[in-house]
């Protein structure tokens, strides 16, 4: 029986907070003006020291100065501790959206079906782990966490965006790493990983929507825990402000079947995460860049007359409840 993850829910933005520091108040005795008074015992001490070349007064003055310095250091330390405590209690501000040419915040997902998707890693949620077939609940939980990390490293991590697959490959079984490493030299990895064509054009803050299920199965006498994932990944790009709504978003919809063999059925180098099968389809992506293994929005391309090419109708690519489109412009 398959177990399906709940739909992700966008978390409310954190409230804004401002740390306030009260000004240091001078003690009343330091601000009071001097008044005439009759000689006191302290005055007599000063008279005595004056008659002895001021040596005694100088010594006392040095002691008092040292005490004041120590007191000042303690006071400053307490104020600094208070500032740090206030700062620690202040929630981190939400990331500022990209700015338009007029300096106003700009939502690159506005007008796109991905506007309601959860931010990046928040969308990659696993179902509850339950024992299934020969796999215990602990083994299922470990497998699901491995799949979650692999999805994040392959589709959302900057290292993969920039062309470094090693952090992702390190999450797989040793034998699986060697088999998949060649995909990154032959540019056949788009089925399960994303690389960006131009770091200066893509914006951080991808969004996603997906679902995950798992089951116990068996192939060639090897017991397997099979985890099926289907996600729509939406990547924002910088485009001209005159671009139509949604033109700044590239969508990639994939289906990946991850497999974890039972440790009792395989050798140590084959223990861990494998990719059993994978397929993907894109929308609003530059076909020429895709053939080279890189993702880039197509709106910046120009036709023979120098006009911008609009993104076009995404069809059902954003809708996980609808069939995956069977054709693509590329």
Instruction: Please report which confidence band the pLDDT of residue 296 belongs to, taking 50, 70 and 90 as the band edges.
Output: confident
Q: What is the mean pLDDT of residues 191-210?
A: 89
Q: What angle do CA 307, 308, 312 make, to 5 degrees?
A: 130
What percent of the chain has a predicted confidence (pLDDT) above 90? 46
Topology of domain 119-291, per CATH?
Nuclear Transport Factor 2; Chain: A, (3.10.450)
In the chain, where are the structural domains located?
Answer: 44-86, 119-291
Residue in 282, 285, 265 with CA at minimum distance from that of residue 274: 265
Reported as a single tens digit per residue, the pLDDT across 63-96 is: 455 555 455 444 444 434 443 434 443 333 344 4
Residue in 199, 328, 186 with CA at minimum distance from that of residue 252: 328
Instruction: Tell me how long the chain is.
Output: 330
Q: What is the mean pLDDT of residues 232-241?
A: 86
Structure tokens given for 98: 């990209």
| β-bridge mates for residue 196, sequence order | 295
Structure tokens given for 254: 């994939």
Q: Residue 42 has what DSSP assignment?
A: H
Residue in 155, 187, 183 with CA at minimum distance from that of residue 168: 155
Reported as a single tens digit per residue, the pLDDT across 32-71 is: 333 333 444 444 444 444 444 444 444 545 545 555 545 5
Task: Enter the pTM of the model.
Answer: 0.67
Give CA separation, 73 vs 31, 62, 77, 86, in Å: 20, 17, 6, 20
Q: What is the mean pLDDT of residues 165-191?
A: 94
Dist. CA 80–CA 82, nearest whole Å: 5
CA 127: distance to chain centroid?
A: 21
Structure tokens given for 231: 């996600």
Q: Residue 32 has what DSSP assignment?
A: S
pLDDT at 201: 78
pLDDT at 118: 97
Q: What is the mean pLDDT of residues 205-216?
A: 97
């Amino acid at each position: 029986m398959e177990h399906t993850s709940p739909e992700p829910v966008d978390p409310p933005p954190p409230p804004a907070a401002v740390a306030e520091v009260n000004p240091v108040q001078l003690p009343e005795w330091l601000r009071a003006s001097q008044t005439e008074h009759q000689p006191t015992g302290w005055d007599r001490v000063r008279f005595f020291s004056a008659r002895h070349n001021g040596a005694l007064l100088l010594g006392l003055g040095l002691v008092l100065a040292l005490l004041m310095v120590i007191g000042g250091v303690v006071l400053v330390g307490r104020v600094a501790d208070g500032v740090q405590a206030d700062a620690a209690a202040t929630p981190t501000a939400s990331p500022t959206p990209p700015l338009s040419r007029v300096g106003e915040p700009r939502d690159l997902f506005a007008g796109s079906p991905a506007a309601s998707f959860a931010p990046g890693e928040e969308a990659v949620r696993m179902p509850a782990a339950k024992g299934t077939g020969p796999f215990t609940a602990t083994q299922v939980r470990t497998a699901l966490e491995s799949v979650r990390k692999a999805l994040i490293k392959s589709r959302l991590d900057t290292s993969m965006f920039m062309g470094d697959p090693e952090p992702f490959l390190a999450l797989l079984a040793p034998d699986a790493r060697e088999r998949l490493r060649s995909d990154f030299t032959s540019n056949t990895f788009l089925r399960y990983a994303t690389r960006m064509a131009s770091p200066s054009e893509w914006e951080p803050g991808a969004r996603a929507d997906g679902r995950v299920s798992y089951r116990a199965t068996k192939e060639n006498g090897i017991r397997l825990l099979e985890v099926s994932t289907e996600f729509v990944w939406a990547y924002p790009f910088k485009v001209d402000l005159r671009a139509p709504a949604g033109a700044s978003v590239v969508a990639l919809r994939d289906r990946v079947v991850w497999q974890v063999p039972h440790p009792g059925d395989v050798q140590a180098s084959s223990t861990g995460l494998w990719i059993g099968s994978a397929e993907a389809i894109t929308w609003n992506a530059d076909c020429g860049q895709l053939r080279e293994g890189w993702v880039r929005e197509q709106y910046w391309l120009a036709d023979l007359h120098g006009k911008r090419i609009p993104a076009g109708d995404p069809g059902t690519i954003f809708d996980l409840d609808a069939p995956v489109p069977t054709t693509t412009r590329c």
